[in-house]
Amino acid sequence: MTLLIVGLALWYASHLFKRLMPARRAAMGDRGKMLATALSLASIVLMVIGYRGAAEVALWTPPAFMIHINNLLMVVAFWLFAASGTRAWPSARMRHPMLIGLKTWAVAHLLVNGDLASVVLFGGMLGYGVIAVILINRAEPDWTPPVPGKAAALKTAVGTAVALAVVIGIHTWLGYPTYPR
């Protein structure tokens, strides 16, 4: 559990540094981007190792039908991730599609995992998503949505399908199937 918590702390630090200390981060230039990337990758590795190695402490038993709700929410989450930075519909309608996708991902996983490590990991990532939106909105209160583009919708759909296929493959390979057993 310690590695999981350290990984989460490193994730928060690497992602919120720009928001909490913008002048310091800007002064670092490209070195700061490389450092944030390295810390982000290290945090993911620590979270995965920590999660997989955490003792099983059951808090509740989710009902079996939650798997279907989780899978539906995962399609939505990946669609929002894929739309982020494009001119697809979500980006033109909502300010933070990637962070909303992250929060959707976290909630979906909380619905199907009733153990302590899952609450720490997915609850921690949900908390990060909430904090990030608040900090961005405070720092940059004005937002002009992009004009939607037709080609962006197709790119978003393809990106969603590819990302889902990869993640389902990785989940299955790691022993966490995404379908009812």
User: Does residue 8 register a pLDDT over 80?
Assistant: yes
For residue range 44-76, list pLDDT tens digits in order: 999 999 999 999 999 999 998 999 999 999 999
- Banded model confidence at residue 93, pLDDT cuts 50, 70, 90: confident
Task: Answer whether residue 181 shows pLDDT above 70.
Answer: no
Q: Is there a contact between 120 and 5 (Cβ–Cβ < 8 Å)? A: yes
- Length of the chain (residues): 181
Report the run of H or E that residue 10 belongs to, with start and end: helix 2-20
48 and 68 part of one domain: no
Q: Tell me how far apart the alpha carbons of residues 169 and 172 are, in angstroms, rounded to a whole number.
A: 5
Whether residue 155 is found in the same domain as residue 137: yes
Question: Which pLDDT value is given to residue 177?
Answer: 77
**What pLDDT score does 134 carry?**
96
Regarding whether 67 and 127 lie in a shared domain, the answer is: yes
More confident residue, 145 or 21: 21
DSSP single-letter state for residue 21: S
Does 135 share its domain with 155?
yes
The range of the structural domain enclosing residue 45 comes to 1-54
Q: Which pLDDT does position 105 carry in this prediction? A: 96
Confidence of residue 180 (pLDDT cuts 50, 70, 90): low
Q: Are residues 88 and 18 in the same domain?
A: no
pLDDT in tens, 97-156: 999 999 999 999 999 999 999 999 999 999 999 999 999 999 999 988 777 777 777 888
User: Into how many domains does the chain fold?
Assistant: 2
What global pTM score does this model have? 0.88
Output the pLDDT for position 13.
94
Say yes or no: 77 and 18 in one domain: no
Identify the pLDDT of residue 104: 97
Rounded distance, CA 79 to CA 73, Å? 10
Task: Indicate the pLDDT class of residue 2, thresholds 50, 70 and 90.
Answer: very high
Which pLDDT score, from 0 to 100, does residue 165 have? Answer: 92
| Domain co-membership, 90 together with 179 | yes
The last residue of a domain, from among 33, 54, 75 = 54
Q: Rounded to an integer, what distance in angstroms lies between the CA atom of residue 124 and that of residue 16?
A: 14
Q: Is 64 in the same domain as 50? A: no
Q: How far is CA 117 from CA 75, 122, 174, in A?
A: 23, 8, 16
pLDDT at 150: 73
pLDDT(163) > 80: yes
Q: What are the phi and psi torsion angles at 58 (to 5°)?
A: -75, 130
Three-class SS string for 78-98?
HHHHHHCCCCCHHHHHCCCHH
Which of 12, 37, 54 is at the close of a domain? 54
| In a shared domain, residues 45 and 104 | no
Same-domain check for residues 50 and 75: no
Considering the domain architecture, whether residues 97 and 16 belong to the same structural domain is answered as no
